[in-house]
Amino acid sequence: MTDGQADRQLLIASNRGPVSFSRSNGTLTARRGGGGMVSGLSAAAEDTPMVWVCAALSDADREAASNSPGGLLDATETGGGAAVRMLNIPPKVYESAYNRVANSTLWFVHHMLYDTPNQPSFGPALTGEWDAFRQYNEMFADALATAAQEAGGAGRTSAQAVIQDYHLCLAPRMLAERVPGMPIAHFSHTPWAPPEYYRLLPWEVGHEILAGILGADHAGFLSQRWAHAFMDCCETLLGAKVDRDRGLVSFAGHLTSIGVHPLGVDAAQLRARAAEPDVIEKMAALADATGGRRLIVRVDRTELSKNIVRGLEAYRELLRAHPEWHGKVVHLAFAYPSRGDLPEYREYTAAVQRLAAEIGEEFAAPGWDPVVLEVNDDYPRSLAACRLADVLLVNPIRDGMNLVAKEAPILSDRGCVVVLSTEAGAAAELGRHALLVNPFDVMQTMRALHEALTMPDEERSSRCSALAAEASATPPGRWLAQQLDALNHPLAG
Ligand code: G6P
């Protein structure tokens, strides 16, 4: 980081924060927040002081925020490196902004999840929901503007903000209007939809989102593909001037630099965590439960974009086409609860459970359970499974990055082969050393699983080391520092 940046107070904004509270036996207890984006930024917060603005997600969060002076929880209360300001957003506004607009609309567009003959259908409800989404973004912009004003003292000259993800796509422009001249970056942790699909959004909504992000001085993406899709949308739908070679978009008299910053893993820290006794205990339990058989592992949220059902179908085809694997392989499928407020997610979870049960009925034999499906989140058990995996299956329909594809090769004890979707952002870095598959092609996925299981030891371990090296190239601290460099030197290089 340069001297100029070191003087500026760093402000981070994201919907989900680095800490969440729960109330038990009359006391509030803090727990570190979950998910790839939060864990990456939390790791970066350990070396860079920051104020992190997020939404209070529960009554316990609201209570913790209102108990602290000015709603600011300091780093000692949050157990991490950041001071956290939790916003008390009115529940109705939050429900519309988070469940309706962010997760049922923007997430679906960027991951291309709609069953278009039936969905989406933007009716009268959208107007109110979109107003709520604006209000939610305004509350973040107000809090960031206040924090920027407060940052004037204590030898700091000013502040800079890095705003995260699709929930906060309007906030960059709103903040730039409130604090002119403040350096602002936005980072998208999702894919970006190509213009043909992005056009599904009502014109004003699509327009306002692009213009919102272009209020920032720097817009970051996890892969070149998503950055190009964003620039294509800016050019085609907004009429912005785009210079793809230099990564610059000019709109309404303002220039935004576009950057590709793939998030990686802090290998030393992850390995140290996976060497702790709770993980060792889970490894013993898993080895025992699977009888030392070959393991095909997946670890995901039960998320529509993760393509868990086709993954199970590919495994079923493997057992049908290759009876030699009967009794010799187990598929450990960890599919943890996610976004249970949305009916599509509850139905998807049921479909995953049904198919896993059907595979059991078709193939199970005394002493051999071909699929072990776990739906309760257990982090030490996930790390244990990654250490033991022979094959990791990562077959999303579309994914911003996919950090599990990076974590498993770093953790693997015996050289795990990664069967990886071409549609995951991680494929840009890992593709050469993984077995790439079209996530819709169940038979190709089945063949890749077979190839992974039969790959000679020497090849599997050399591929795994290459994957681990790629995966640890940009640990979170470096990833964030690169964005700050780009923000402060937009035209360099
Ligand atoms: C994943 C995505 C992020 C997103 C987050 C939200 O981690 O990669 O882009 O912000 O999910 O998940 P949540 O559980 O907070 O809805």
Is residue 59 within a helix (H) or strand (E), and if so which, with residue range?
helix 59-67
For residue 471, the model assigns a pLDDT of 98
Atom in ligand 1 nearest the alpha carbon of residue 16: 15
Atom in ligand 1 nearest the alpha carbon of residue 35: 7
For residue 3, the model assigns a pLDDT of 47
For residue 154, the model assigns a pLDDT of 56
For residue 33, the model assigns a pLDDT of 73
Distance 34 CA to ligand 1 centre (A): 9
The two three-digit tokens of residue 132, written as one number: 């709520």
Distance 261 CA to ligand 1 centre (A): 17
Which residue puts its alpha carbon closest to atom 9 of ligand 1? 189
For residue 245, the model assigns a pLDDT of 95
- pTM above threshold 0.75: yes
The amino acid present at 143, given as its one-letter code, is A
Torsion of CA 107, 108, 110, 113, to 10 degrees: 140
Distance 37 CA to ligand 1 centre (A): 7
For residue 47, the model assigns a pLDDT of 72
Spans in the chain with pLDDT lower than 50? 1-3, 493
For residue 490, the model assigns a pLDDT of 66
DSSP-assigned letters across all residues of 222-253 = SSHHHHHHHHHHHHHHH--EEETTTTEEEETT
Short-list 75, 95, 78, 63, CA closest to 32: 78
**Is-contact 390 414, C-beta < 8 A?**
yes
Atom in ligand 1 nearest the alpha carbon of residue 164: 10
CA distance between the termini of the chain: 16
> Which residues, listed in sequence order, are joined to residue 421 by a DSSP beta bridge?
437
Q: Which residues line ligand 1 (CB under 6 A)?
A: 15-16, 35-37, 165, 189-190, 338-339, 400
Atom in ligand 1 nearest the alpha carbon of residue 98: 16
For residue 5, the model assigns a pLDDT of 63
The residue count for the chain:
493
